Structure 1
C-alpha cells in the first residue's frame, strides 16, 4: 500500500513538473522579441499594448489579409481603430481561440473574417482519405489538436524552436510592445504576377480544417459579445475561383451576414489594381501599393455600407494613434525611397529599429 502511494505521488509530481515546463516553454516562445523571431502569435505583445476597449474592428485570417488591410491607413482616413489579428497559415480553430482571448481586453463592433483559410477545392485534400476517415482525421487534427495548441502554444511553434537561445530563458521579456503596424505586414517589394487571374481547378469547393464547424463557433462567440461578423476575400493571383466564392456566399446567406469578395470583383471594384505593381510575390500577397488600394475600398464600405463612425476613444488614445500614424508613414516613406534607390541608408531618427516591419 505504501509503495503504491509513493508511485502515485511520484507520478503526480512528474505530471505537474511536465505541465509546468510546457507552460513555461510556451510562455517563452509567446513573448519573445517579435522583431527578431518569426513567432506566429507574437502579435499578442502588440495587441495587449492597445488600451482596453479601444479597438472597433478586428480583421482575422491568414497572411492574405495581414498583407492587404492597413489599420493605420483606416485611422488616418476615417479615424476608426482597427487591428489585424492575423498571421501566416492561420487555421479556423486558431482564429476561434485567438478571438476568445482577444475579447478579454477589447469589445470590437465587428470582426471581419477572411474566408480563404477555411475553404479549399476537393483536389487540395488528401485523396487517400475516405469520407469517414476525413471526418475522423479532421476531428483529431483540428478540434483536439487545436485545443491542445491553444493550451500549450509550444506545440505550434516548432519553427521557432531552433532559434531559442539561453538568454531567452533568463531574460525578462516584455508582455507588451507598442506597434505602429497594428498587425499589418508592410512591404515595398514588387514581384509581378503574369499568370491568369483565378484558381484553375473546377473541382467542387469544400470547407477545410473543420472550417464550417469553427466558423459557427466564431459567429456564436461574436454574437455573445455583441459583435457583428463580416466575411471577406482578399485579391489572390491563382488561389480563388467562382466555386469557392459560391460556397462562402452560401455561408453568408445562411448566417444573414455581409460578404465582400475583393478577388472575384477585383476588376469591377478596383479597376486601378495591377498584378504588375501591386503584389509582393507573384500574386500570392499584396505589397504596400496593393494594400493601399484594397484598404481604401474597405474603409469606404465600412463607412458607407456598414455604418462605421469615427471611434469614440479617450484623448490619450487619440493622441497615441496620431503619433503611431505619423511614425508609420515616416517608415513607409523611408522604405519606399530605399526600395526605389536600392540603397541601404541608416534608419532615420527618432524612429527606433523596433519600428521596422516584423519578419513573419
Structure 2
C-alpha cells in the first residue's frame, strides 16, 4: 500500500487550484486566459486588468507548468469558457524536460482531462513528479510584496545565438496553436521581465518561432524602461519572479497593449459582472495600501 505525505497531497491540490478555479467561474465570462509557470501568476493581475480596462482574465498558471499541462489546462478551460485570447507566458517553452519526465506528465495530464477524478484525487501524482509548495492566488494571481533586488546588471545583451526549443515542447505548442485556431482564439506569446530566466538567446528563439508561425510575441524584457521596471523595488527573489510592485507595472502595460491590439470588451457596468465590480474595488483599495 502506498503512503503519501500530507505535504505532497496539499501541494498537488494547491498546484491545481487555478484549474479548479477557472471551472467555478460563470460560463463564458472569461475573455483572456493566461497559461504559464510561476512567472505567469507572479506578473499578471486579472483584477487590475478589470479595474483599468474592464477585461475579464484568469491565470491558469501552475508552479513549474509544462507545455503538456498547459495544453490540457486549455482543453479543460474551454469546456466552460470561450476566451477571445490566450496569453502564454513563454518561460515554460524552455523548461528542461527529460523524455521520461515528459511521458509521465503526458500520461497524468491526458488522464486527468479525460477522467476528472485523477485531477482532483491527486494522491498518486507526487510519486511521479517532484513537488514544491504552491501559493495563494487571486483569480490566479499571486500577490506577494517581498523585495529581494536583482543586482547583476544588464542581462539582455545582444547576441545571434538561439536557445533550443525541444521537439516535445514544439509538439505541444503545435497542439495549442491548432486548438486556438480551431476555436478562433487569438494566441499571444508573452515573456515577462525575469533576468534569471530570459536573455537574448531566448529572445532570438522566441522571435524566430513566432515569425515562422505568424504569432504575436511580446518581449517585455526589452521593454523594461517603457514599463518602468526597477530591479531594486520590483524583484521578489533576485530577478526570478516579479513582486507586487513589478506585477502592477507589467499588468498596466499588458492592459494597454491588449486594448490597442485586440477587440476585447469592456465589461465594467455590464449586467452579470457585479461581482467583478465589487471585488475590483476591494482589490484596488488593498493594492493602494500595500504599495504606499
CA distance in 2, matches of 1:300, 1:156: 39
The answer for unaligned runs of 5 or more in structure 2 is 112-117
What is the SS of the residue equivalent to 2:195? coil
In the TM superposition, 1:205-354 aligns within 5 A as: 205-208=163-166, 210-267=168-225, 269-270=226-227, 272-311=228-267, 315-316=271-272, 318-333=273-288, 336=290
Question: What's the CA shift for 1:242?
Answer: 1.2
Question: What's the CA shift for 1:91?
Answer: 0.5
326 and 239 in structure 1: CA distance in 2 versus 1, 3 angstrom threshold: same
User: How many residues are treated as equivalent by the alignment?
Assistant: 276
207 and 46 in structure 1: CA distance in 2 versus 1, 3 angstrom threshold: same
209 and 70 in structure 1: CA distance in 2 versus 1, 3 angstrom threshold: farther
Q: Is 2:14 the partner of 1:39?
A: yes
Larger radius of gyration: 1
Contact map agreement 1:29 1:39 (CA 8 A) in 2: no
Q: 1:48 aligns with which of 12, 23, 28?
A: 23
Contact map agreement 1:29 1:157 (CA 8 A) in 2: no
What is the SS of the residue equivalent to 2:14? coil
In the TM superposition, 1:109-148 aligns within 5 A as: 109-119=84-94, 138=99, 140-142=100-102, 144-148=103-107
The answer for unaligned runs of 5 or more in structure 1 is 1-17, 126-136, 164-178, 341-360
In the TM superposition, 1:45-124 aligns within 5 A as: 45-119=20-94
What is the SS of the residue equivalent to 2:164? strand
CA distance in 1, matches of 2:274, 2:137: 13
Question: What's the CA shift for 1:210?
Answer: 1.8
Between 235-244 and 208-217, the greater mean CA deviation after superposition: 208-217
Question: TM-score under structure 1 normalisation?
Answer: 0.68
Contact map agreement 2:162 2:205 (CA 8 A) in 1: no
Question: What's the CA shift for 1:190?
Answer: 1.0
Question: TM-score under structure 2 normalisation?
Answer: 0.83
CA distance in 2, matches of 1:216, 1:223: 11
CA distance in 2, matches of 1:280, 1:45: 26
What is the SS of the residue equivalent to 2:207? helix
In the TM superposition, 1:148-187 aligns within 5 A as: 148-150=107-109, 151=111, 152-153=118-119, 154=122, 155-158=124-127, 181-187=138-144
In the TM superposition, 1:10-25 aligns within 5 A as: none
CA distance in 2, matches of 1:258, 1:162: 32
Contact map agreement 2:54 2:268 (CA 8 A) in 1: no
